[in-house]
Amino acid sequence: MAFLKRIGLFVLTNVLVIVTIGIVWSIVSRFLGMAGLNSYIPFLMAFCAVWGMGGAFISLFMSKWMAKMFHGVKIIDANNPNPELRNLVNKVHEFARRAQLPKMPEVGIYESVDINAFATGPSKKNSLVAVSTGLLQRMNEKEVDGVLAHEVAHIANGDMVTMTLIQGIVNAFAMFFSRILAGLVAANVDEKYREIVRFAVTILGDIAFTMLGSIVVNYFSRQREFRADAGGAKYSSRDSMVAALQKLRSVYDLPIPPEEGQTATLMISNRDKGGIAKLFMTHPPLEVRIEALQRGRF
């Protein structure tokens, strides 16, 4: 479970969708006697492009529902009797108006000791900003403002759609190469086991190439964090955004940092990693983001 929590909910959902598409297509094409078409390159390229992009957009449309389900997010009503929660909704809506969003995001809260928040949803008109109980307990009002404005900036920048388009391209290449590899491997196997081997290699290839492609997706994810930080500074203030990141750095510098949430690619922070693991980081190091804000390098 720890592994699943660290690869990001959007990426995890996308992998599951792509694998499901691959399995269904393998069964249907075999049943209809179309399996041989998989070796026809133009057809294969078209199939992978359509279903690769389709899989990414299915993940996008499921993103808000999946986030609520995985985290147990409870939506907060604007008229909630709790003044702290009501103020949270008002703050998000205030930043959303400054960002000129066409519709106010849903605002939710979820139980977690982790100091974090995330924004998700298929469009600017259908979005969600959720914060952890740990964030509300351990951040002051100024720091919370920076976090909320950062998440609203993700929505205003259309980050989920951009990431979906990139993920769709990665999916298309992953599906294409996994089927080419499956064909090459199956061609060298006894005919009796050929289709079983082709099927197994295809599914394993879908998973492996999609995960490998997440290096590209995560690179763009790191770049969008700088834009969201700039937006957070614009919609709240530079001081609030810097204060939020400094608080996160002080927490994540502890010997045993809090556990990362399942929606790492959407959240405001995840801790720095060394070596090859840096390629899979969804966020730049906090000190780099703080320096960029302080120097105005957006």
Amino acid identity at 56 = A
Q: Which of 213, 230, 246 is the C-terminal boundary of a domain?
A: 213
pLDDT of residue 26: 64
Give the β-pairing of 106-110 and 126-132. Answer: parallel
Domain shared by 84 and 137, yes or no:
yes
pLDDT of residue 230: 95
How many structural domains does the chain have?
A: 2
Three-class DSSP labels, the chain: CHHHHHCCHHHHHHHHHHHHHHHHHHHHHHHCCCHHHHHCHHHHHHHHHHHHHHHHHHHHHHHHHHHHHHHCCEECCCCCCCHHHHHHHHHHHHHHHHCCCCCCCEEEEECCCCCCEEEEEEECCEEEEEEEHHHHHHCCHHHHHHHHHHHHHHHHCCHHHHHHHHHHHHHHHHHHHHHHHHHHHHCCCCHHHHHHHHHHHHHHHHHHHHHHHHHHHHHHHHHHHHHHHHHHHHHCCHHHHHHHHHHHHHHHCCCCCCCCCCCHHHECCCCCCCHHHHHHCCCCCHHHHHHHHHHCCC
Domain shared by 135 and 94, yes or no:
yes
The annotation places the binding site for Zn(2+) at: 150, 154, 225
pLDDT tens digits, one per residue of 66-102: 889 888 999 999 899 999 999 999 999 999 999 999 9
Is the pLDDT at 18 greater than 70? The verdict is: no
Q: Which residues belong to the active site?
A: 151
Q: Which of 215, 224, 187, 194 is nearest to 276 (CA)?
A: 215
pLDDT of residue 198: 86
| Listed ranges 136-145, 191-200, 209-218; the one with the highest mean pLDDT | 136-145
Stretch among 54-63, 95-104, 127-136, 143-152 having the lowest mean pLDDT: 54-63
Q: What is the percent of the chain where pLDDT is above 70?
A: 78
Q: Which of 213, 230, 255 is the C-terminal boundary of a domain?
A: 213
* Burial of 192 from C-beta contacts in 10 A (0-12 / 13-18 / 19+): exposed
Per-residue pLDDT band for 146 (boundaries 50, 70, 90) equals: very high
pLDDT tens digits, one per residue of 238-294: 999 999 999 998 887 654 444 444 344 445 655 555 567 777 788 888 999 999 998
Q: Which of 213, 246, 280 is the C-terminal boundary of a domain?
A: 213
Tokens of 13: 């959902």
Domain residues for the domain of 125 are: 76-158+220-295
The C-alpha atoms of residue 128 and residue 144 are separated, in whole angstroms, by 16
pLDDT of residue 271: 54
pLDDT of residue 264: 47
Domain shared by 151 and 29, yes or no:
no
**pLDDT averaged over the chain?**
82
Tokens of 183: 């064909």
The annotation places the binding site at: 150, 154, 225
Is the pLDDT at 109 greater than 50? The verdict is: yes
| Region 120-129 average pLDDT | 94
* pLDDT greater at residue 49 or residue 90: 90
pLDDT of residue 17: 61
| Region 42-66 average pLDDT | 81
Q: Which of 168, 134, 164 is nearest to 266 (CA)?
A: 164
Domain shared by 170 and 282, yes or no:
no
Domain shared by 11 and 151, yes or no:
no
Is the pLDDT at 33 greater than 70? The verdict is: no
**φ/ψ of residue 75, rounded to 5:** -75, 135
CATH of the domain at 239: 3.30.2010.10
